[in-house]
Chains A and B, each alone.
Chain A
């Protein structure tokens, strides 16, 4: 064992990529700001109206100014960010668990179950994402859980595909065959032999989906079918801003989106080194 090369951890590779580090810092900042909102540490109450101070520009008291109801835009940005984060994490979590489970089971067991799973994801794929989310929210309701569920349904088939593909090749591997011959149970093979080997693309997909989910949520709120007023949501604020208020939030959503992308696509790229 003397000649064993010490394997460098994925963190080592990660820290060496500039865009990955920048992304990580930005995501960290976002999480921090959302946490500030979660603990209600924002300078003003985001839903408190102040009729005397409507549509003010940025000042020492109101960092980003106020909207048409005199609410502090900075506090609303923080709270909106928190909402976007919750919805995106919750919806992607559901989509990942359901999609990966169905995908792995379908890929591993094949036959009719697989056909049903594939057919189902084809059907969901046949809708533009925002339209499908819209239709589902229309049926379910407007609470954040409904929005998350709608977004989860939209993104589940992506996870089914991403998980199912590698399973098809992995299940033919010798070590899986020998595990089967040794009499391991199917659940054990799935969890400890198949799952670790399909994890890399799933991690990348989680990263991408988080950013898309934020976009979909803000799109839904923008159309009036996500977060309901007076609560703050980034999409809703852009929609309000159409009415004429000075709003800095416009630049915030794309950046949120970008942070996720660069951070996670880096982590995804480095991830496989752990398993190969």
Chain B
């Protein structure tokens, strides 16, 4: 029963991934027309037909669309993600380092967001309708309404102008080379993403807690003399966890999108910057592979969320 579920889930994920690969291929390879025009610009006009043929062969666009797709997918699955001309590195190599940055950022952001979100949510739900509830809700609303790039820009401006503190202006350090520097560079971007995650988590926590508080088992726990704090965490929070985890999973995915903007502002060499740079340099292979990797991450996270909340709540079959 359980393995059966797992396999059907896996199958549907694989199907989705297949659809994604076709979508990415169509949007990024077929629509923009010609890689040659894209790379050479107006110089394409002076090329002889033979030169164009050679270039087409070089880029692999002399084949049929189906042929192009299979050859792209074939090399993608083998780990050959293409070559980035501006950096002179293979996209696989680039991705290796940038994926680590984005992963660190996303995990830090999510952890911060969940902590802030649950804390504010519990703070708010303790006394619905009170001043502290209002304050908590106001926080949620502001965090939801202020776009990440506005918050980041403000932080950068204030830190750099008022305090002359801007660790992101220095060269990026991996946590292995210089953990303290890495922490300083990651702190603010993670906070920006964390606040974006915290808002929906806070709202979900608040409404889930308020719903659970009225349940019979909570009254029973209070009645039999369980300490209030213990009831709050072991009974109420534990039973409110499913919507919170679901929300966090959804937000984790969105956070990958937010990372694109935050990485640009804080000059972090992550996946988002890789995509943006590739778009600006018109490197279609890099854009295509990076977007594909983004989508794979997103789908994987959703799958994991799905599995986790089945773990938390055995009632879900």
Contact = CB atoms under 8 A, between A and B. Distances in A.
A215 B153 contact: no
Interface stretch (A39-47, A97-105, A172-180, A217-225): A217-225
A241 B258 contact: no
B89 interface: no
A32 B92 CA distance: 51
B141 A258 contact: yes
B294 A127 contact: yes
Contacts of A123: 16, 19-20, 23
B145 A261 contact: yes
Interface in A123-162: 123-124, 126-131, 134-136, 138-140
Contacts of A192: none
Contacts of B276: 134, 223
Contacts of B291: 127, 131, 135
Contacts of A165: none
Contact of B149 (A120, A219, A225, A255): A219
A126 B295 CA distance: 6
Contacts of B16: 119, 122-123, 126
Contacts, number: 108
Q: Which of A119, A254, A255, A261 has the most CB of B within 10 A?
A: A254
A136 B32 CA distance: 9
A131 B147 contact: no
A250 B294 contact: no
B261 A222 contact: yes
B307 interface: no
B223 to A, nearest CB: 36
A62 interface: no
B154 interface: yes
A53 B27 CA distance: 44
Interface in B202-255: 253-254
Nearest to B276: A223
B150 interface: yes
A119 B256 CA distance: 22
Contact of B298 (A126, A138, A139): A126
B270 to A, nearest CB: 12
A250 B31 contact: no
Nearest to A211: B145
Contacts of A258: 141, 145
Given A127-B294, A139-B28, A222 B256 contact: no
Given A119-B15, A119-B19, A225-B279, A138 B32 contact: yes
A129 B31 CA distance: 19
A222 B149 CA distance: 8
B153 A250 contact: yes
Contacts of B20: 123, 126-127
Contacts of B156: 242
A239 B279 CA distance: 18
A138 B23 contact: no
Contacts of B260: 128, 130-131, 134, 223
Interface of B: 15-17, 19-20, 23-24, 27-28, 31-32, 141-142, 144-147, 149-150, 153-154, 156-157, 253-254, 256-258, 260-261, 264-265, 272, 275-276, 279-280, 287, 291, 294-295, 298-299, 302
Given A128-B258, A130-B258, A131-B275, 5 more contacts: A126-B16, A134-B279, A135-B24, A238-B153, A254-B145
A-B interface, 6 closest residue pairs, ranked by CB to CB distance from nearest: A128-B257, A123-B19, A254-B145, A139-B31, A130-B257, A254-B146
Interface of A: 119-120, 122-124, 126-131, 134-136, 138-140, 215, 218-219, 222-225, 235, 238-239, 241-242, 250, 253-255, 257-258, 261
